Structure 1
Amino acid sequence: MFQRGAFPLCPTDNGLIFMPLTFDLPLSSQLSEVDMILHKATDEILHVELSNFSDPFNKITYSSRMQELQRYIEVHPDLCVIDPLNNIKPVLDRLEIQQILLGLEALKPKGCIIRGPYFLKVGNFNEANMVQKLYEAKLSLPCIVKPQVACGVSDAHKMAIIFDVEDLKNLDVPLPAIIQEYVDHSSTLYKFYSLGEKIFYAVKKSTPNRSILMNLRQGVGPLVFDSLRSLPIANESRHHLDGKSSDNKNKDLNFELVQNAANWLRRVLNLSIFGFDVVVEDKSGDHVIVDVNYLPSFKEVPDDIAIPAFWEAIKNKYENSKNPIS
């Protein structure tokens, strides 16, 4: 976003002025001049310790400079922060996000539904009765296996597509992990972006259906990949969209359905700026949210659309923080 001119040092059309922080000078003298803080703390994570029975909360270790900023925010609770650090915690944990997405059932849409994928958390790939556990979780092979920690640490994007329970043995994916439903979706992924109350999306090539995956499989064993670098897809093509597409590939997308889900997610997560990925299941038409992330790049959305909406979302967040709705 920086290279796209989203953080100008001169006033924007809606009166915002951005000021970069430097940790070579005291924060107090710099922040005394600002009205709000915009951050991407997920880029400053050093370690995530997942919750357990004795401690139900994930522990996040940030870089020293982020810790310094965190301390300042804690002693200045009236300072507007986009978004509060506690609010981004769910997007760091794939299990927590999956559990949150279960609440989409409350929307009760008519016709096709929107939901999270079926899933199973595992702490050990050699757990007993794995076939039965997959069945009880409504999972059928192939499945995709992801680390529970979603971002901010090494190997968070190391994943695998498994075709047989035997593929789990010695699988090179960090534990604990989430075994997630693999949805046949004709290689079409919808990347949605929520900027305040505005919703945008773009269409991208994605992983192929099961039958094609079987052909991509090299001999026996799982397909292991880094989702940021080597996703097994066909040639990529992008379409810049705003919910009113004439592209035939999008005829099965129910934009209103996803928009309602985006508004629901914004309320539940209490985030101003986030993104999520949707695939449409070929047979059922189910809209499945397969990923949620904080402060994405919006690189698929043209600058003249994304940047003004970005500025508007920031200003609205600030104004609402000063005049909260009762």
Structure 2
Amino acid sequence: MNGPELSVCLCAHSATGVPNTHGRMSGRRVGFWFSDKKRRRMNLDAFVQFCADRGVEVVEIDLTQPLGPQGPFDIIIHKLSDVIVEAEHNSQSQQLLDNFQSYVSAHPDTILLDPLPAMTQLLDRFASCQKMSQLNSSLRDWHICTPPYLEVHSGSELSSIQQAVITQGLTFPLICKTRVAHGSYSHEMCLLFSAASLADIHPPCVLQSFVNHGAVLYKVYVVGDKHCCVERPSIKNFPSGPCDRKTIFFNSHQVSKPESNSDLTSLDEQMVALPPPSSDAVAALVKELRAQLGLALFGVDVIVNISTHTLTVIDINIFPGYEGMPQFFSSLLSHIQSVLDQHASAGSS
């Protein structure tokens, strides 16, 4: 298997080949920029070699230097989330972003995977929740929904937050997430069990009704027209309704990784396992989100409500780690080829 490994995976496609050195990809130049952490997680050095073996040059971009001499690039793959978030309060990160945007503006024929505006929208959980809430109407026939949510802005009074929770139809327990949806701090969350516990939140943030889902999360990884559904551990069930339980603070990475072993994920042995999401429903979800978001490389976190068996969308992720997606390298290179071929066809017509 190419890239990071995980044992449990339900795929919506079979492995496909990629062009060899005689295919149309030969001679094309792909630039990429990822953080050091992202490079390691995705085993980018192996991807570079994988592409080289098929006649495709993949070049790492240095944002600290002018991009002009580093080009030309037919296509650039990137995850600039760190840089965009840090640019708001860091002049060095802003300069890196300016370098990138200057090159893109001067070379409009260079394709970005994915476009910066489309990607940036998901860095804000307020905007992300608004996107997800649209699924309640567009995918109702597939029994797909999103939990009720509330945007809590800086400076909000506790009493107004408590009233808004009631008005918006949220039910306890609640899960609280930071407004910024990227970076290590974005994984810090908490579970709230009463109106009084709302004093523990730190706005700006998002509150969502917690949905019991049998401690199983499904990560749907999307690469163009291919997707894969991977099972992960998740938070255990809690009794519905307010109670005097203290707020539980946790890091989502520590409860949803393949190797996670937390008290927060330990499920009652009497719980009957739920069936995985319908492959047709997941395909419909992916199709709708691709159209809504204008993205080709993203992930969706979904759970199955233990009471209604409704497929519930709880998060959307920019260019995830793709841990557990078989043939990820092949899928990514195949998508790059497809995008470049479409671009070439459009240019010659």
Q: What TM-score results when the alignment is normalised by the length of structure 1? A: 0.80
Q: 1:167-203: CA deviations, max 9, x gaps?
A: 121x254x21111110100001000001100010110
Change (3 A) 1:160 1:105: closer
Q: Unpaired segments of 5 or more residues in structure 1?
A: 50-59, 237-247
Q: 2:332 aligns with which of 288, 301, 310?
A: 310
User: In 2, distance between residues paired with 1:61 and 1:288?
Assistant: 39
Equivalent residues in 2 for 1:133-212, closer than 5 Å = 133-152=164-183, 155-169=185-199, 171=200, 173=202, 175-211=203-239
Q: Unpaired segments of 5 or more residues in structure 2?
A: 1-41, 257-261
Change (3 A) 1:12 1:104: farther
User: In 2, distance between residues paired with 1:61 and 1:121?
Assistant: 31
User: In 1, distance between residues paired with 2:280 and 2:102?
Assistant: 41
Displacement after TM superposition at 1:132 (Å):
3.4
User: In 2, distance between residues paired with 1:230 and 1:249?
Assistant: 18
Q: Confirm whether residue 264 of structure 1 aligns to residue 288 of structure 2.
A: yes
Q: 1:283-302: CA deviations, max 9, x gaps?
A: 11111111111111111223
8 A Cα contact 1:91 1:97, kept in partner: yes
Letter in 1 for 2:194: D
User: In 1, distance between residues paired with 2:266 and 2:97?
Assistant: 38
Equivalent residues in 2 for 1:1-326, closer than 5 Å = 1-3=42-44, 5-8=46-49, 11-13=52-54, 15-23=55-63, 25-32=65-72, 34-47=73-86, 62-110=93-141, 113-123=143-153, 124=155, 126-152=157-183, 155-169=185-199, 171=200, 173=202, 175-211=203-239, 220-229=245-254, 233-234=264-265, 249=273, 251-302=275-326, 305-324=327-346
Question: For this pair of structures, how many residues does the alignment match?
Answer: 294
3-state SS of paired residue (2:333): helix
Change (3 A) 1:71 1:254: same
Letter in 2 for 1:39: H
Q: 1:125-155: CA deviations, max 9, x gaps?
A: 6333444321222211110011111114x62
Q: What TM-score results when the alignment is normalised by the length of structure 2? A: 0.75
3-state SS of paired residue (1:274): strand
Letter in 2 for 1:119: Y
The one of the two structures with greater contact order (alpha-carbon pairs below 8 A, sep at least 6) is 2
3-state SS of paired residue (2:60): coil
Q: 1:182-239: CA deviations, max 9, x gaps?
A: 0100001000001100010110110000149x9xx9x953111222346653369xxx
8 A Cα contact 2:234 2:255, kept in partner: no
Letter in 2 for 1:194: V
Which structure is higher in helix share?
2
User: In 2, distance between residues paired with 1:143 and 1:66?
Assistant: 36
Q: 1:97-139: CA deviations, max 9, x gaps?
A: 11112222443454x5112221011124633344432122221
